[in-house]
Every structure is written in structure tokens, then in C-alpha cells.
A = this chain, B = another copy of it.
Amino acid sequence: MISTTESTVETIEWTREGVVMIDQTRLPRETVFVTCRNYGEVADAIRNMVIRGAPAIGVAAAMGVALGALQSNHLDADVPVICETLARTRPTAVNLFWAIERMKQVYASVRHLAPEEIRARLVAEAKKIREEDIAINEAIGRNGAPLVPDGKTVLTHCNAGALATAGFGTALGVIRAAVGMGKNIDVFADETRPFLQGARLTAWELQRDGISTTLITDNMAGHFLKSGRIGCVVVGADRIAANGDVANKIGTYGVAVLAKENNVPFYVAAPLSTLDLTLASGEEIPIEERAAREVTHVQGVPVAPEGIAVANPAFDVTPNRYVSAIITERGIARAPYGESLRSLFHGIL
């Protein structure tokens, strides 16, 4: 089921053997690829954060639906169960539900065809979602790069990079595109407890790209925002409400407040599939609570007394007033977000 060390790292791929993902729980110590051979394994990989990042789990869910359909002899009965299983893996990132919904719509539109043809269309759609995601990230990068101040440091939180997407990244896509434009920037990466996506994934990605990166603990962000060296903050998003409130990795809200307090622009980079226009505000976004062990243990090593109570919300909500702009593949939205997001969104419908 597993192969190791490749030179070009792909977050997720459709192969003859199944859905192949780099195991993000083991980076950066080991570069291990996991092959999910059925949709249940894809669901487990999402739940256990072998793959994470809103756009990446959207792609994974779509591939999970395709894989499930490929192995089903009773599509009409199985497809809803497959979709439901994948939808129950994680509650906050809306891209997961968006991708499943898109697969359901394709299924509905091809239901009258022969089973082999249905399966082929679902596989094609999942692959297309992956390819589109890379193109979308490149567009986000192009749109966002001009916002990045030259000669300063960019602060980012969590990992909104190639590993959080099908490739290139949202927040890290903006950083990559800014570097590609010739801007002289470096990056400060919050380590992002408890899962350490910043330390383990962002630092690893940017180091491979040769982009100068300094790792800090989450609680240092304020100190450096106050110091004047940070030119802007760029983060990703897991769900954006109609009013521009942004759910993203826990700690994002704190960084946003500290950025505003120090007059540093705070940018959110996300595909329009992250937008949830059914929610009036961020208060309606469901916030996942994860296991206490993620906090009490680091890489399996205990760091707290046994039996201590833990809170572990995986996300927080940043009210729109702290968001300087939302960078999408169709352009940049600014306040008032109710209007700007809706017009960007409807531009592609």
C-alpha cells in the first residue's frame, strides 16, 4: 500500500491502484505515500488528516465518490451512501460538501447511461476537479501577488500550500506568485498547534522551493506584527460566509486582530468553492472539535499531566471587519463583502 521518496511531490493523484496521497501526518520526517483502495479508506484519510486543507479534501472527496462508484454494482443504492460517508468525515471546510454536491449532480445527469459510462464520467469529473483546482490556485496567485509588499516579510498561519490543495496552494500560491514576479520577500510561518501544519508542512514546502522561511510559535505572531517587519498576512480559508466572515484554522482570528491592531493588511486567499452563500454570517459555521490527544501529545509524546481537560476547536471565525481583502480566482473582494463576494460568485455560475 505504500511507496516512499519521490522527487516531485503530488498531494493527491488518481491512479490505477487507487487514490494516492502523501501522508501529511508523517511529514516532514517521512515522505510516505498512502494508496486508498476504496472510498472507506478515502474517508478515513480525510478524518485522520492524512490529507487536509479545504481544497485538498474537496478533491479527495470527489475521488472517493468516483472510487466508490467504480467498485459499486448498485449505483443508485450506493452513491448516496458513499456521498454521506464522505460528507461525515469533517464538518467545517465547505469544499468537501461542494465537491460531493458536484459529483452528485454529475451522477444525476448521467444516471440514464450504462453503468460503465456513469463510472467513467464520475472518474473524469473527479480528475477534472483536481486539475481545475491547480489552475484556480495559479489564478489566485496571479491575483494576489500584486498585494504583497516588496521587501517585507509575509506572515502565514497553518498550511494553505500545495499540500492543502491539488497543487500550488492558495496563501502559499500568492507567496509563490509574488516571488515569481521578482518580489524580494521572506516568510514567517506560524507553527500552528496542535497539528503543527506550519512547522511540518509550510516550512517543508517553502524550504523545498528555496523561499526564505522562518518558523515561529503561534504566540510570537503578535510580537513580530508589532515589530514592523511584517508587510502583510496571507492565510487560506475553510469556509467563508456570505458576509465575508472567514472560518480558518484555529488561531487565524488572533492573527487577524493583531494584524489590524498593527495596521498590517490581512488577506484571505481561497477559491470560490470555499464560499458558502447559504450562511448569512460566520456564527453559523460549524466548528469541528477534535480529540484531546492532539493537544496533550506531540508526535505521540505526552506534554501535559494525565487527565487534564482539553478544548480543541480546530477552527475559529474571523469577523469580516478584520479582513482587508479576499483573493479568489476571479478577482479580489473587498468590504462590503456581501456585495463583492456575491458578484464574484455569480460571475462563474
Contacts and interface: CB of A to CB of B under 8 A. Distances in A.
Q: Interface SS of chain A: helix, strand, loop or mixed? A: mixed
Interface string A203-242: 1100100001111111111111010000000000000000
Contacts of A222: 251, 253-254, 257, 316
Interface in A96-111: none
A309 B221 contact: no
A145 interface: no
A307 interface: yes
B299 A215 contact: no
A304 interface: yes
A254 B207 contact: no
A5 to B, nearest CB: 15
Interface string A315-336: 0100000000000000000000
A311 B219 contact: no
A303 B219 contact: no
Interface residues of A, number: 54
A305 B254 contact: no
B309 A220 contact: no
| Copies of this chain in the oligomer | 2
Contacts of A298: 298-299, 301, 303
A261 interface: yes
Contact of A253 (B190, B212, B223): B223
A34 interface: no
A187 to B, nearest CB: 10
Contact of A310 (B215, B250, B308, B312): B215
B29 A308 contact: no
Given A218-B193, A223-B313, A213 B308 contact: yes
A193 to B, nearest CB: 4
A196 interface: yes
A124 to B, nearest CB: 36
A194 interface: yes
A258 interface: yes
A311 B200 contact: no
A338 interface: no
A327 to B, nearest CB: 22
A215 B295 contact: yes
User: Which 6 pairs between the two chains have the least Cβ-Cβ distance?
Assistant: A219-B251, A222-B254, A193-B217, A218-B219, A28-B305, A223-B316
Interface of A: 28-29, 157, 188, 190-194, 196, 199-200, 203-204, 207, 212-224, 226, 250-251, 253-254, 257-258, 261, 295-296, 298-305, 307-313, 316
5 contacts: A207-B308, A218-B218, A219-B251, A220-B250, A222-B254
